[in-house]
Chain A
Amino acid sequence: MEERQKVDPVLFFAVLSLVALGVVMVYSASAVFVESKTGDSLYYLKRQLINVALGLAVMLGAMRVGYQRLVRWAYPLLLGVVVLLVLVLIPGVAVRAGGSSRWLPLGVMNFQPGELAKIAFVLYLACSLTRKKDRIQAFSVGFLPHLLVCGVLLLLLLGQPDFGTAATLTLILFFMLFVAGTRVTYIAVAGLAALPMAYGLIVGSEYRMRRLLAFLDPWAHRFDIGYQISESLMSFGSGGLWGTGLGEGKHKLFFLPAAHTDFIFSQVGEELGFVGAVAVLALFAVVVWRGFRAALRSPDLFGTYLAFGLAALIALQTLVNVGVVTGVLPTKGLTLPFMSYGGSSLLCTLLAMGILMDISAAGGEKADPGGSKVTWP
């Protein structure tokens, strides 16, 4: 670690581009709205810039730690996250917003343990799957424990409630188990078993039911529960091929709630158009591609799992978020990595990128001179 690592430049610049674009879009989306609220149109821009600065520092720090050392941290971190998720559920400790308590007050900013939970869970899985690599196909060893850990996290997350993070964790679990070589039948059965559970959760909770109804027919509920999604679709529609131009979007004028957080991508769609939206997706694809590349080049199995998990995390969150804002998935309350406003999300995402770049650099050292058999086409 003392010698200089080679950072994957493609990954690095893709991440920086997304972060920079995110800052611009956050400003564009929030300026009018926040000025009416606080009188300072730069309010969210300033805060997001601080988040970016912190996030980049975390990312650069994580690159230097050395991912192998993280093995030791996997279980303590998981335990810590569980504690935080329990804390979040205690009334009076947590900060409530929008009907759920997801945030812990941390002085100047609020921290969202759910964001950290994703990384902790990926780290735990990578660690556990590496340890159990030979017995991975055994149900009680390779499958059940992970499912149970995931179940605990899910219960805690649904208590907030945070359906978005819960769904992401479930998908990550299946992805990583699949890649690690768990029997596909287990995954399929678990998936089939999860469906009625998800159904039960949705029907059992009025707000999730409303979201589902809104998703199924946003226009019928355009003025109540389908409002946000209809507005988002109209944002996209107003954008056209080239967009209305930066700052020219109209939907951020209070029409679209959370325009600068969860629905930032519809701002991209409106102001930068189809071309801009696809370009942003392409940047995400680059990040994921470089992540998978790092996974395949990793010198050890832990690095492979970890890199894959982190890259898949970005991919899943992006796809789910874009799916939500384009109306093909029900609303979940999930941020778009790199771009959405929010300290926890950005910090955790950049932490993940730091680890990923570290793995990538480690793989690069070994792979380049030795000519590893594992190469990305």
Chain B
Amino acid sequence: MPDRKQMSWMRVRLYAVCVLLIVATAFLIWRIWNLQIAQSEWLGSLAKEQYLEQITLEPMRGAILDRNGAPMAVSVMADSVFVMPDELHDPAAASRALARALSVDARRIERKLRERKHFTWIKRRILPSEASRVRALDLPGVHFTRESRRYYPARELAASLIGFAGDGRGLEGLELVFDSRLRGSTVLARGLRDARGNVLFSEGVAGGDEGEGLSVVLTVDLTLQEIAERELARAVSESQARSGLVVVLEPSSGDVLALANTPPFNPNVFWRYPSSSYRNRSVTDCFEPGSTMKVFTLAAALEHGIVKPDDVVDCQSGELEVGRHTIHDAHRGLKSIPLREVLVHSSNVGSAKIGMTLGAQHLWRTLHDFGFGRKPGSGLPGEARCMLREPGRWADVELATISFGQGISVSALQMTAALGAVANGGVWMQPRIVREIRRGRDRILQRFDPQPAGRVLNERWARELTEMMVGVTEAGGTGIRGAVPGFRVAGKTGTAQKADLIAGGYSKEKRVASFMGFAPAEQPRIVVVVVVDEPGTSPYGGVVAAPAFARIVEASLKVLGVFPAHPVVAGPADESATAAVEEPGRGEAFDEVGVSEQVAAPRTQGERCMPDVRGLSVRQALLRLGRLGLDVSVRGSGRVLAQQPAPGARIDLAGHAVLVLERESVRPADSASRPGRSEGSTGSETGMERAGLDREKARRARSELAARAQLRAEGGSRGH
């Protein structure tokens, strides 16, 4: 037992220690109060700043779709490869391996690896196959990140119409015109971040398609576009022409269904082509139309009451003197012919006389009403006005020549729209190229309705004119090769001399051969203009352009589900029939997608065609296939990417169909080893397309950040 005195002293000392401890504790509590209460706001905001990372999501550029929703331009996430050279063990070997995998120059890579220490791009936006090759190398220091890349699944189809985008902005064509809509806005997503930069939970990233670029739905039908391009290419090569143009238009709405130019270019690799091939020449280029113009001269004469269809025109044996000039017919010896046969014989003299009777003022009025000398207003970039001078400035001979299509220039689109007015019973429709602006794939933001610009021709005269044009494609007409078996086709040939810009006057050899027309004559569904520039074989539109016209019309009508009213009597070899078989499903009513109002294609008994369900949602696809009684199995999720049987294939009752969707389930074996990398990566060549349709924002954020996290994690692990 300690003695009392010592004990009490000790107690005093112990109290002193206690006081010290209490003071210290009080100080600490004051300090904690200060941190937690007084400075809470400031410290808390600092902390928030730190763990709530602002993730800037580059917007996914909107898609450009055809009228049926088929993708023409889509954005896909592609891998970009970069190297951190200081992580590499053997730069020489690595650059050789990378060069092989990415088909680039090994020496260039090696130079990059030696020059830069911490970061260098090797190749950006590579193909999935390249990416998987690089991944298989498993090199240290080689990393991936995801960047969006524009992809044109239809390749050359409608390339000059679509144009292209590079580095996230539109550079040509509709990509340029609708750039602001397509581009979308940068989204700031807030993610909860840990110190390694991993996003653990995301706040509001999954919120739909916010910020995403809008989709532009065109009036173009990809199938018709393909037909047009195929036939144009054939016509151009068969006639050894310099180039050619085709415009296909729906007369009732003014919808441009196809717009083709040669030579084509592939927008996926646009930099390999001269910039001249980017031009959408159906819209931007003018040519002297020649005889096709006679249709509008007649229209003007009928509309102004100068002539009646039953009038007789004296063609003066094919020679007419106007001032110091003499106008000739291509075929001499025409005497007096009924007005309705002027087109059939394509008489220059007859047209000139009608035009001169009509007068410059009236002719100009009608031509102007039909859209010549004006921009068509389709919304396409670089629309040409072309040349239609004020009537006051027309020389005497000009009135005569304009009447048969020389001394005036037009664009193919103007021509098509003008003929569309005839086909449409006299009402000129403004050509329309964009149908809708959508958010995502389904939500329509803005709809462009058909724009009737008013009646330019009495309906009766339109009918009369149509009948006259039907004569052109019938026996004895100049455009007999434009006939389509089973249909009455209204047509008109055109053969124009080209102005010789060097020698002055008109060139002897250089011609523009064209054919325009529409079908079926009774209820026109399509208007087609085919222009062949500088054909080498024959200068005549009736020879060079008319067959292409006929094939386009025939195939297109089948696609549109328009079938001959008159049974075809053992017609000529039916080449274009194959084209129709490719996509017969288009004939059906696409009511769910609201894409087409066309009549259902008649089904032959017991044997039907597989519809094209690509691009549809699973639900829509299943609905449609279910109606056909098909047993369907589905792989993956999202939209339909591929289908089996192919569109147009014959299917039996109770047949089986397989749909492959955008996001096919990834095999676990692929992803198990490297969670950071396998996320969002695609293993196969078709991955490009699959990813192309991937529109899920959260997923993008995740894969983006997974790539980043991977980076940091790898960077960090080196330190230990």
Checking B25, B28, B195 against A328 with a beta-carbon cut-off of 8 angstroms, the contacting residue is B28
A322 touches B33 (CB 8 A): no
* Nearest neighbor of B20 in chain A, beta-carbon distance: A175
Determine whether A113 belongs to the interface, using a CB cutoff of 8 Å to chain B.
Answer: no
**Given known A253-B194, A254-B194, A274-B36, contact A133–B6 (CB-CB < 8 A):** yes
Q: Which applies to chain B's interface (DSSP): helix, strand, loop or mixed?
A: helix
**Max chain B CB contacts within 10 Å: which of A36, A299, A326, A373?**
A326
Does B634 interact with chain A (Cβ within 8 Å)?
A: no
- Identify the stretch in B9-17, B83-91, B145-153, B462-470 within 8 Å (CB) of chain A at 4 or more residues: B9-17
A71 proximal to B (CB < 8 A): no
Assess the B1–A299 pair: CB atoms within 8 A: yes
Q: Is the interface of A mostly helix, strand, loop or mixed?
A: helix
Query: Measured between alpha carbons, how far is A328 from B21 in the docked complex, in Å?
Result: 15
Q: State which residues 28-68 of B face A: CB under 8 Å.
A: 28-29, 31-33, 35-37, 39-44, 46-48, 50-51
A168 close to B (CB within 8 Å): no
Which of B11, B28, B33, B200 interacts with A296 by CB under 8 Å?
B11
Say whether B273 faces chain A, with CB atoms less than 8 Å apart.
Answer: no
Are A238 and B28 CB-contacts (below 8 A) given A254-B196, A299-B1? no
Residues in A neighbouring B16, C-beta threshold 8 A = 178
Interface residues of A in 225-248 (CB under 8 A from B): 233-241
Contact partners of A274 in chain B: CB under 8 A: 32-33, 36-37
Partner of A319, one of B21, B33, B36, B47: B21
Q: Indicate whether A292 sits within 8 Å of B25 (C-beta atoms), given known contacts A233-B43, A250-B47, A326-B32.
A: no
How long is the Cα–Cα vector from A27 to B283 in the complex, in angstroms? 70
Determine whether the beta carbon of B33 is less than 8 Å from that of A238.
no
Q: Does A273 contact B (CB under 8 A)?
A: yes
A181 at the interface (CB under 8 A from B): yes
Among A237, A240, A273, the most chain B Cβ lie within 10 Å of the Cβ of A237
Mark A155-176 against chain B: 1 for CB-CB distance below 8 A, else 0. 0000000000000000000010
A residues in contact with B4, CB < 8 Å: 373
Q: Would you call B18 an interface residue if the criterion is a C-beta within 8 Å of the partner chain's C-beta atoms?
A: yes
**In contact, A277 and B36 (Cβ under 8 angstroms):** yes
> When A236-B32, A277-B32 are in contact, do A178 and B13 touch as well, CB less than 8 Å?
yes
The CA of A205 and the CA of B200, in the complex, are separated in Å by 38
Across the two chains, which residue of chain B brings its CB closest to A373? B4
Contact string against B for A residues 256-289, beta-carbon threshold 8 Å, 1 for contact and 0 otherwise = 0000000000000100011001100100010010
Q: CA of A254 to CA of B713 in the docked complex: distance in angstroms?
A: 12
- B24 within 8 A of partner (CB): yes
- Contact between A236 and B25, CB atoms less than 8 A apart: no
Do A241 and B37 form a contact, CB below 8 Å, given A251-B47, A304-B2?
Answer: yes
* A255 B36 Cβ-Cβ under 8 A: no
How many Å from the CB of B338 to the closest CB on chain A?
91
Q: Is A312 an interface residue (CB 8 A)?
A: yes
Contacts of A133 in B (CB 8 A): 2, 6
A315 interface residue (CB < 8 Å to B)? yes
Decide if A19 is an interface residue (CB 8 Å cutoff): no
CA distance A95 to B39 in the complex (A): 40
CB-nearest residue of chain B to A239: B36
Set B6, B17, B28: member contacting A322, Cβ < 8 A: B28
Q: Cα distance A273–B136 when bound, in Å?
A: 51
Q: A274-B36, A281-B25, A315-B21 are in contact. Are A326 and B47 (CB under 8 A)?
A: no
Closest A residue to B10 using CB positions? A179
Residues of chain B with a CB closer than 8 A to A323's CB: 24, 28
Q: Smallest distance from the beta carbon of B319 to chain A beta carbons, Å? A: 94
Q: Could you tell me if A234 and B50 are in contact, using CB atoms closer than 8 angstroms? A: yes
Q: Does A65 have its Cβ within 8 Å of any Cβ on chain B?
A: no
Query: In the complex, A240 Cα to B40 Cα: how many Å?
Result: 6
Q: A234-B47, A250-B192, A319-B25 are in contact. Are A178 and B2 (CB under 8 A)?
A: no
Q: Which residues of B contact A34 (CB under 8 A)?
A: none
Q: Does A300 contact B (CB under 8 A)?
A: yes
* Cα of A285 to Cα of B24 in the assembled complex, Å: 12
Cβ–Cβ < 8 Å partners of A319 in chain B = 21, 24-25, 28
Say whether, besides A234-B43, A236-B43, A240-B44, A269 and B35 are in contact (CB < 8 Å).
yes
Q: Judging by beta carbons under 8 Å apart, are A181 and B44 in contact?
A: no
- Residue from the set B28, B33, B48 with the largest chain A CB neighbour count within 10 Å: B28
Interface centre among B29, B36, B37, B194 (most CB of A within 10 A): B36
A374 CB within 8 Å of chain B: yes
Q: Are B18 and A255 in contact (CB under 8 A)?
A: no
Which residues in B have their C-beta under 8 angstroms from that of A299? 1
A282-322: contact bitstring with B at CB < 8 Å (1 yes, 0 no)? 00010010001001100111001000100010010001001
The contact of A300 among B1, B10, B39, by CB within 8 Å, is: B1
**CA of A322 to CA of B27, assembled, Å:** 11
B7 near A: Cβ within 8 Å?
Answer: yes
Does B17 contact A237, Cβ atoms closer than 8 Å? Answer: no
A175 to B13, CA, bound (A): 9
Q: B33: which A residues are within 8 A, CB to CB? A: 274
Contact in complex: A236, B10 (CB < 8 Å):
no
Chain A hits for B18, CB < 8 A: 292
User: A32 an interface residue at 8 Å Cβ cutoff?
Assistant: yes
| Known A178-B13, A179-B10: A278·B47 in contact at CB below 8 Å | no
Closest to B29 in A: A278
Residues of A within 8 A of B40 (CB): 237-241
Bound form: Cα–Cα A296–B7 in Å: 8
Q: A319 vs B194: C-alpha distance in the bound complex, in angstroms? A: 30
Instruction: Please give the distance in Å from A294's CB to the nearest CB on chain B.
Output: 12
| Contact among B6, B32, B35 for A278, CB-based, below 8 A | B32
CB distance B31 to A326 under 8 Å? yes
CA distance A255 to B24 in the complex (A): 28
- Say yes or no: B37 contacts A240, CB within 8 Å: yes
Residues of A near B198 (CB, < 8 A) are 36
A326 & B28 in contact (Cβ 8 Å cutoff)? yes
User: In the complex, A288→B32 CA distance in Å?
Assistant: 20
Q: Is the CB–CB distance between B43 and A238 below 8 Å? A: yes
Contact A234 B46 (CB under 8 A): yes
Q: CB distance A255 to B51 under 8 Å?
A: yes
By beta carbon, the residue of chain A nearest B713 is A36
Q: Which residues of A contact B44 (CB under 8 A)?
A: 234, 237-238, 240
Measured CB to CB, the closest approach of chain B to A1, in angstroms, equals 20
Residues on the B chain within 8 Å of A253, using CB: 51, 192-195, 200
A372: nearest residue on chain B (CB-CB)? B1
Q: How far is the CA of A234 from the CA of B44 in the complex (A)?
A: 6
Q: Whole-angstrom distance between the alpha carbons of A344 and B575 in the complex?
A: 89
Q: Which residues of A contact B11 (CB under 8 A)?
A: 296, 374
Contact of A255 among B21, B27, B35, B50 (CB under 8 A): B50
**A301 vs B44: C-alpha distance in the bound complex, in angstroms?**
50
Contact partner of B21 (CB less than 8 A), chosen from A236, A288, A300, is A288
A368 to B387, CA, bound (A): 120
Cβ–Cβ < 8 Å partners of B43 in chain A: 233-234, 236-238
Residues of the B chain whose Cβ atoms lie less than 8 Å from the Cβ of A238: 40, 43-44, 47-48
Q: From residue A88, how far is it (CB to closest CB) to chain B in Å?
A: 22
**Residues from chain B with Cβ under 8 Å of A255 in the complex:** 50-51, 194-195
> B residues within 8 A CB of A233?
35, 43
CB distance from B323 to the nearest CB of A (A): 89
Q: Verify A269–B32 contact, CB threshold 8 A.
A: yes
Q: Which of the residues A181, A273, A312 comes within 8 Å of B36, measured between beta carbons?
A: A273
The CA-CA distance from A190 to B425 in the complex, in Å, is: 114
6 further A-B pairs in the complex, CB-CB below 8 A; given A133-B6, A237-B44 = A236-B35, A238-B47, A241-B36, A269-B32, A295-B14, A322-B32
Binding site for B on A (CB under 8 A): 32, 36, 133, 175, 178-181, 233-241, 250-251, 253-255, 269, 273-274, 277-278, 281, 285, 288, 292, 295-296, 299-301, 304, 308, 312, 315, 319, 322-323, 326-328, 373-374
Q: List 16 A-B contacts (CB under 8 A).
A: A181-B13, A234-B43, A234-B44, A234-B50, A236-B32, A237-B43, A238-B43, A281-B25, A292-B14, A301-B2, A319-B24, A319-B28, A323-B28, A326-B28, A373-B4, A374-B11
Closest 7 A/B residue pairs (Cβ): A237-B43, A254-B195, A253-B194, A236-B35, A234-B47, A274-B36, A254-B194
